[in-house]
Amino acid sequence: MFKIESYKTSYPIYQLEFKAFFDEDGYYDEKDDGYKCGERNVLRVSFNHKTWSIYLPKIISTKKVKVFPSWDKETIERLGRDYYYNYITKRYGFYYSPEEYFLHISYGIDAPELISYIDQDFGWFVPWLEHKFSHYEFYDLDNKTKLYEFKDIKRFDCFREREKIIDKVPKIRFQCLDYDNETIEATVYIEKRVWTKGTGWFQWLKYFNAPLEVKSIEIKFNKEVGERKGSWKGGTIAHGFEIKENESVVDCFKRYCEKHNLTYFKYNILGETN
């Protein structure tokens, strides 16, 4: 049976993969004019945000394994057999995610749920495309003046040292209303995270490529926020939100409130209320 399906993804993918699998959910067979379960072959092609699944006549079979379970005598008599078959998927091809710089290659068995089989695949983050985290930078509330830099990220207690710097960074405290009109306080400071190009043997690329930088306001709420607060999953207690160059902290937080269903109404810096 030949059939083409297509759909869009929210993230870019580059993929060329052939898959032989057993369709347990069933599919419509025009030849037999009905639904049935069975082995199928599909060629999946992805380019950027578009994916095509091309269902083909059977070219390659799955790996068919005969299993002899511990059935009782009545079950064996009812079925007329003392075994069943496991149909193990096979994949051949590649998958590349440009957002994660990750390449995955398959060349046979794909059975992650069966510990008795080893998947025939491998994958890695492409070292000449991947970025390596370098350091943190902390800014004054004017969004221009860099006050501190923290590079000692390999220390086992680096998070404690980073917290000591965060304690010294200037902060602004906002008051806003949650979706249910509960008053929330949010303490905010500005932080930049920096990554350099290349990992492993390709770390020298950082000398020829601009670093990847993300500057954001770091928000800590005094209580849970959002529609999930009070539930088993819980609401938001901290969040990061990217700040634009030359944008004030107040304007950035207002944008955050608009996006996350909060109502901003005032802020306080060093005892001044606005």
pLDDT string in tens for the chain (274-residue length): 678 889 999 999 999 999 999 887 766 666 665 667 788 899 999 999 999 999 998 899 999 889 899 999 999 999 999 998 888 999 999 999 998 899 999 999 988 776 667 889 999 999 999 999 999 999 999 999 999 999 877 766 788 888 999 999 999 999 999 999 999 999 999 999 999 999 999 999 999 999 999 999 999 999 999 999 989 989 999 999 999 999 999 999 999 999 999 998 888 774 444 4
Do 119 and 146 reside in the same domain of the chain? no
Containing 191, the helix (H) or strand (E) segment is strand 183-197
Give the structural domain span for 179: 132-273
Do 176 and 96 reside in the same domain of the chain? no
Do 242 and 116 reside in the same domain of the chain? no
| Domain-terminating residue out of 102, 125, 148 | 125
Q: Is the dihedral of CA 73, 79, 83, 88 positive or negative?
A: negative
In angstroms, rounded to a whole number, what is the distance separating the alpha carbons of residues 100 and 12?
10
| Domain-terminating residue out of 125, 147, 163 | 125
Do 136 and 232 reside in the same domain of the chain? yes
Do 87 and 158 reside in the same domain of the chain? no
Do 81 and 192 reside in the same domain of the chain? no
Contacts of 237 (CB under 8 A, 6+ apart): 220, 221, 223, 224, 225
In angstroms, rounded to a whole number, what is the distance separating the alpha carbons of residues 102 and 81?
46
Do 112 and 139 reside in the same domain of the chain? no
Do 100 and 29 reside in the same domain of the chain? yes
Do 152 and 174 reside in the same domain of the chain? yes
Determine the distance from the C-alpha atom of residue 263 to the mean position of all C-alpha atoms in its chain, rounded to a whole number: 29
| pTM of the full structure | 0.71
Do 142 and 115 reside in the same domain of the chain? no
Decide: 248 and 143 in contact? Cβ < 8 Å: yes
The amino acid present at 153, given as its one-letter code, is: I
Do 20 and 112 reside in the same domain of the chain? yes
In angstroms, rounded to a whole number, what is the distance separating the alpha carbons of residues 88 and 120?
12
